[in-house]
Structure 1
């Protein structure tokens, strides 16, 4: 049985997924998650994911942003020894951060397809909008775990590309809404 590839992220109502916690990507609306009232139960999905994750996958830029912070974060301690995969054509082994467990660089979609055929549980993709678009277009993502925030940004990277491709059906696995307007939407890709 193939490993499940899960995209998880915060998303605005108009589909933007980058810069939820700051102006890292440079658009003026960066940090938009912090503008929504904090309601702990709206983030319960993140705790569920910690228990389910058996490996992590990042694009190069998300890896470079998350690795130095998550390596030493108590909130992400469960991820420390998990295998991590960085998809990049330019990253070199000497640029990988030390002390954050096993990290493997994947160079191609074919490498990701091979990884999915190995034994093990779900592989979670955090951030990495461009990687997610590419993998979605290649029909390699199996599930989307989304926390949709009640904000329209008008700028930023979208999770889904605009390529002319056959429709991809999704099946709702789980959903919830919270008092702060955040909606949890968990979709399985129908094949």
Structure 2
């Protein structure tokens, strides 16, 4: 299986399904209250963001998912920077409704994405990137069990012209069993 193949991933906590325009209304409602997050990519227009991600999927660079919990789309996540030849992928462009933050939704989604990448797609590295100032995201990535690879200083320009330092983490196949067990234990604790 390829990292860019459309697939539905599901466990008892969350369902990840291929992103489509049919998710627009749920995701527009889900993004309410996220304007505080200047350091992350929360779409101003959900419809435009869905179109962009579907275009990236068609080009083979991204595999976008709607994060569904309680029967409604509550966020987005993707496999991005897909490098099929080298079996390398990044999990990113993730945002979740404030209503499901600090619940098991993100943990359950990452368990599914990592499991699919390592077990079905034979990935040799799964990467995570975030803004230096996004301490919430950095802490969540570290709780997953990802290791810090480094910081790309002045890596990108933000929409407002500020410079972004990007923090890079990864998980490798030999680390996956311990990471999987940690995620499963966190979900079992509720």
Bigger relative CO (Cα 8 Å, ≥ 6 apart): 1
TM-score range normalised by the length of the shorter chain: 0.3 to 0.5
| TM-score after normalising by structure 1 | 0.34
Which structure features the higher share of helix residues? 2
Which structure features the higher share of strand residues? 2
